[in-house]
Chains A and B, each alone.
Chain A
């Protein structure tokens, strides 16, 4: 009974983690940007979804849509206001661009957190579940919303897979992650590819933020921890590897759930961090990393 409960609960949490991390890793793989304002994108999407759904009484579906759009808008804002100016700056030496982007996005994330706390307070909000009720799965009372979350996460990840592997646009992205110089030589505008990957990132993160808020809730205080959690999953899976992130999300999700059930709920975040340290020691490129 408890085993099934762990399987079910862990599956939904892991799916959510996977969706949260996949955009983050894709963005790094294609454009080389580690967006440390990632948690901000999730929480902005969650807050806007909540505001539209319950503050303006426009219903959960409209709220969810508004949330995803807000995620997209925030991703573009991050790109336009922070990342692009640093990439284009002549004052910043080429080899220091990455560290400037790390610092820039980190500060942007903190600004976002402070602004959200100011506007929405630090109290967590929850977006109403898209569907209510519970269904028994092998005797475990499972909220329909949790099943929906898992399905939605996998549907979005599946759509992403199709996009990357089955469309011309996706192949451009793949090419950009492997050999950006080659891509420019073929006459592709790299900045347009980057804009595209930021758009995909925004939608993925927006989706993750909205779903997160229907289950675990979201608050401005979660901006940092959400970034950290995506970061550890991505490092564990291998930076830039989408498949690695999916595997890592499930490892982290199940490890946390197992700890919460079998040891103590308060210790749930510790074991994944220990694994992370071990991976950094023994296999720095991550589980499925390329380098």
Chain B
């Protein structure tokens, strides 16, 4: 069960203390040059392991680190992860970041899928000149800060789609499948109230009408909501063909009630928790038919790395990776590559230059970061030949890629209680 992660999460740091002590003892006798070659490269990880998406961050990182280390490390140096849990708190996230930078002396930090936490860490990345990459937060503001004040904020990178691109990708998919194939004409946007959904909803309202779906209503609800009956009731009253979702912090409760109440309208958009198979267990299968935009599904052959990674992850952890499991795995490789290209240096300014030159074939596609002049500076570039994005849908207990057609393994299917336009 994934619930035991936190215990094991602390083990690396404990082991690492021992390793550190052994290292200190060894220093007296080992020549300096050999020591430099043998010293591990530390990468900091900050995660919310009590959440479904957050739990995937250390897991994805560990798989990449194990792989790199088994292949001889980075120029002979092993990758060592230092992992902290921020318990979904921006304050704890910042504290963990400071500790990683000042005490643990890591080369870079990958952390948090929550935009509120990432936005709190970002200024500290600037102040402490420490590379920070979020593997799953989406707010447009993360890259906007880098764009607006590049000299200070250049140490921050955005290792996921921005909210803007998520909405664009979900709307493009809606156009191809819901409008063209299923003849839908209208929708209601339903999002949790959070930093990542403000720009997401703005972009939904911009892209959905262009995709052919009139937006009949726009509902933002508190993440504390336990009874979704009034919300579904209001949505049903508007008679839309589809509900376009923006949910990540919540997932289980609305999904279970959607099924229990037989809400006859399909859900499409972003439902981040639905990216891992843990969600199937937590909803007792109520997520059947739920479709979500994401980077890759277990069966999306985006690059030759995607499916083998998912299979290895599933074999090791018993569940499919949540969306940020893929990105974290890729980011550890990207950081290792950048250090190699920087001649083994972990100097932050050299690393920024090396990271900006990234052209990496990862599990999510070909990964490059937008430049200084682009709107989303240092965010992953989005596009069919770069990171294409997919829509996956829960079908008979499995996640199937349904869009884009190039990677689709199944046609869209909804549970019997969902009514489609004739």
Contact = CB atoms under 8 A, between A and B. Distances in A.
Interface of A: 2, 5, 9, 13, 54-55, 117-129, 132-134, 141, 143, 145-146, 215-217, 222, 225, 257, 260-261, 265-266, 268
A134 B262 contact: yes
Contacts of B51: 121-123
Given A9-B229, A217-B256, A266-B222, A123 B52 contact: yes
A280 B344 CA distance: 68
A123 B234 CA distance: 26
A248 to B, nearest CB: 18
16 contacts: A13-B227, A117-B50, A121-B3, A123-B52, A123-B282, A126-B253, A126-B283, A126-B284, A217-B253, A217-B256, A225-B224, A257-B230, A261-B233, A265-B227, A265-B230, A265-B231
B186 to A, nearest CB: 20
| Interface range for B | 35 or more
A5 B233 contact: yes
Contacts of B222: 265-266
Interface in B99-152: none
A174 to B, nearest CB: 34
A198 B220 CA distance: 42
B233 A124 contact: no
Most buried by B among A120, A217, A222, A260: A217
Contacts of B221: 265-266
B229 A120 contact: no
A10 to B, nearest CB: 10
Nearest to B231: A265
A143 B225 contact: no
B88 A125 contact: no
Interface in B225-278: 225-231, 233-234, 237, 252-253, 256-257, 260-262, 273
B95 to A, nearest CB: 18
A1 B121 CA distance: 49
Chief secondary structure at chain A's binding surface: helix
Closest 4 CB pairs of A and B: A260-B230, A121-B50, A216-B226, A122-B50
Interface string B1-12: 111001000000
Contact of B260 (A143, A261, A266): A143
B55 A121 contact: yes
Contacts of A132: 260
B329 to A, nearest CB: 21
B295 to A, nearest CB: 21
B8 to A, nearest CB: 13
Given A54-B284, A265-B221, A265-B231, A217 B55 contact: no
Contacts of B256: 126, 217
Contacts of B3: 119-121
B227 A9 contact: yes
Contact of A141 (B55, B88, B261): B261
Nearest to A257: B230
B252 A123 contact: yes
A217 B230 contact: no
Given A9-B233, A122-B50, A265-B221, 5 more contacts: A121-B50, A123-B52, A126-B286, A143-B261, A260-B227
Contact of A266 (B88, B225, B228, B273): B225
A232 B327 CA distance: 45
Contacts of B231: 265
A129 B282 contact: no
Contacts of A54: 281, 284
Contacts of B225: 265-266
A216 B227 contact: yes
Nearest to B253: A217
A264 to B, nearest CB: 9
Interface string B82-97: 0000001000000000
